[in-house]
Amino acid sequence: MLRKTKEEEPKNQLLMSMENHKMTVMPLPKGRNSSIQAFIPACDSTGNDGDNNNITKKLSFSKHLHFDVCKCNTTWLKSTISPFPTQRGCNAVDPFATPHNKNYDQWIIQHPSALENFKEIVAASKGKSIVMFLDYDGTLSPIVDNPDRAFMDDEMRDAVREVASCFPTAIVTGRSRDKVYKFVKLEELYYAGSHGMDIQGPKKGPKFAKIKEKTVLLFQPASKFLPLIREVYKLLVERTKSTPGAKVENNKFCLSVHFRCVDPQKWSSLAEQVNAIIKEYPNLRLTRGRKVLEIRPIIRWDKGKALEFLLESLGFADLHSVFPIYIGDDQSDEDAFKVLQYRRQGASIIVSKSPKETGASYSLREPAEVMKFLHGLVESNKVTVN
Ligand SMILES: [Mg+2]
């Protein structure tokens, strides 16, 4: 059962975005204009809302999301952040990561290598239009200590450029759209920043016949939260500056608090600090990624919704004619994996060297393998075309 909170319709946001940016905006896909509102998942008696997000597990929700989120986060913080390892510095062990252990052999059977099963993936895509979705951090670029320096190397950029010349390609990231564009620097891509809350079409214009008639796409379903995000950003910067190494990143429609370079002894107090701020804002929620705390508006919009929106907007709503491939490494990518799993469509690929709970069908170990996979797709497309 879903409870619903009142939220402005994305259609209006679209019009506002259009006015603000003087851009041509594609209409929303059919059936979406009135259904995208903020939903709060209700929990069962165990507190499990059916979501993989650990924050909401083992908790009960009451009438007020504000209160519930606070409880969720407090429980989560106490149970998962307190027993930190004593290792210091930027290379400290991520408390959320599952260690690479003896279960890997079993895990890889359930999520086999996308490289070793490349022929199987290509065969499944035969006769369909591939659409590529790529996360950025940890997928196209290595995870680094300073998030401002998560640069993508030229070799990877060439691989993405080539794949985008064959298939419509989107970058789907928690970063702000502007920032990820500065890293990727490719005009021919679709960019879905802020966990899909800021979607823009190619600056260069799409080359694919099916979408040629469509012009620039801009979709920002969380525009009304911008003042709130700015306010909380200032608060987070102010309150976390006493924690050396903590870095607050403004991703426009969402915020990140990176703790990769924070002394592990201080992770718990930092998380409590962040939680204390967020609990004062009922329209925001706190989740976690790889050594990062994420703050987002409560609207029901994520990377999975962004994937669906882009597929439909690109004219690929027909389930049988399209083969989406989504590659990502983090918890937020699971929303997209779930969508592909539900649609029984395409290939979902997690980037991980260690076993972790995932809805992805396949795996790749690191960005270098992602690059090999992209090269493989380009080569196989040449064979198909010729
Ligand atoms: Mg990532």
pLDDT tens-digit map of 139-169: 999 999 899 999 999 999 999 999 999 999 9
Name which of 42-46, 228-232, 356-360 the model is least confident about.
42-46
The amino acid present at 252, given as its one-letter code, is K
pLDDT band at 386 (very low <50, low <70, confident <90, very high): low
CA angle in degrees (0–180, nearest 5) for 182-255-303: 75
Lowest mean pLDDT among 82-86, 226-230, 236-240, 349-353: 82-86
The two tokens of residue 180 are: 């990820």
pTM: 0.75
> Do residues 328 and 361 touch, judged by C-beta distance below 8 A?
no
Q: What is the Å distance from ligand 1's center to 373 Cα? A: 17
Q: What gap in Å lies between CA 292 and CA 231, rounded to an integer? A: 20
Q: Is pLDDT at 59 greater than 70 in this prediction? A: no
Please give the distance, rounded to the nearest whole angstrom, from the Cα atom of residue 141 to the centre of ligand 1. Answer: 9
Distance from Cα 134 to the centre of ligand 1, integer Å? 9
pLDDT in tens, 1-41: 333 333 333 433 333 333 333 333 333 333 333 222 222 22
The amino acid at residue 139 is: T
CA distance linking residue 233 with residue 111, whole number of Å:
38
Within 10 angstroms of residue 357's Cβ, the number of other Cβ atoms is 11
pLDDT, tens only, 216-232: 588 999 999 999 999 99
Confirm if 143 and 354 have CB atoms less than 8 A apart.
no
| Over residues 315-324, mean pLDDT | 86
Tokens of 45: 């008696």
pLDDT attached to residue 332: 94
Distance 142 CA to ligand 1 centre (A): 9
Q: Among 259, 260, 261, which residue's Cα sits nearest to residue 269?
A: 259
CB environment 19-28: b (16+ within 10 A), e (fewer): eeeeeebbeb
For residue 344, what pLDDT is reported?
92
- pLDDT higher than threshold 70 for residue 137: yes
The rounded percent of the chain whose pLDDT value lies above 70 is: 70
Say what the pLDDT of residue 210 is. Answer: 56
pLDDT band at 382 (very low <50, low <70, confident <90, very high): confident
Query: What is the rounded average pLDDT of the residues 312-317?
Result: 85
How, if at all, do strands 347-351 and 362-364 pair?
Answer: parallel
Strands (E), 179-310: 190-193, 198-200, 218-219, 247-250, 255-258, 284-289, 292-297
Q: Report the C-alpha gap between 109 and 38 in whole angstroms.
A: 37
Mean pLDDT, residues 121-135:
96
Q: Is 366 left (phi over 0), alpha (psi -120 to 50) or beta?
A: beta
Q: How far is the CA of 218 from the centre of ligand 1 (A)?
A: 23
Distance from the CA of 174 to the center of ligand 1, in angstroms?
A: 8
Mean pLDDT of the residues in the chain: 77
Span 249-260, average pLDDT: 96
Q: How far is the CA of 290 from the centre of ligand 1 (A)?
A: 8
Q: Is the pLDDT of residue 200 over 80?
A: yes
Q: Compute the distance between CA of residue 259 and CA of residue 132 in angstroms, rounded to an integer.
A: 30
Instruction: Give the per-residue pLDDT at 88.
Output: 36
Percentage of residues in the chain having pLDDT higher than 90: 62
Arch. (CATH architecture) of 87-386? 3-Layer(aba) Sandwich (3.40)
How many Å lie between the centroid of ligand 1 and the Cα of residue 386? 35
- Interatomic CA distance for residues 316 and 91, integer angstroms: 42
Distance 180 CA to ligand 1 centre (A): 12
pLDDT, residue 207, reads: 62
What pLDDT does 188 receive?
Answer: 93
Q: Provide the H-helix boundaries in 131-174.
A: 154-166
Rounded CA-CA distance 336/330 in Å is 11
Tell me, what amino acid is at 166?
Answer: C
Name the strand (E) or helix (H) holding 325. Answer: strand 322-328
Q: At what angle do helices 303-313 and 334-343 cross, to 10 degrees?
A: 50
CA 34 to ligand 1 centroid distance, Å:
31
**Centroid of ligand 1 to alpha carbon of 168 (angstroms):** 20
Helix residue ranges per DSSP H, 167-262: 177-184, 226-240
The pair phi, psi for residue 349, each rounded to 5°, is -130, 120
The pLDDT score that the predictor gives to residue 206 is: 53
Q: What is the separation of C-alpha 15 from the centre of its chain, rounded to a whole number of angstroms?
A: 25
> Residue 9 C-alpha to ligand 1 middle, in angstroms?
29
| Rounded-to-integer distance, Cα 161 and Cα 184, Å | 10
- Cα–Cα nearest to 91, from 252, 333, 247, 260: 260
pLDDT value at 372 more than 90: yes
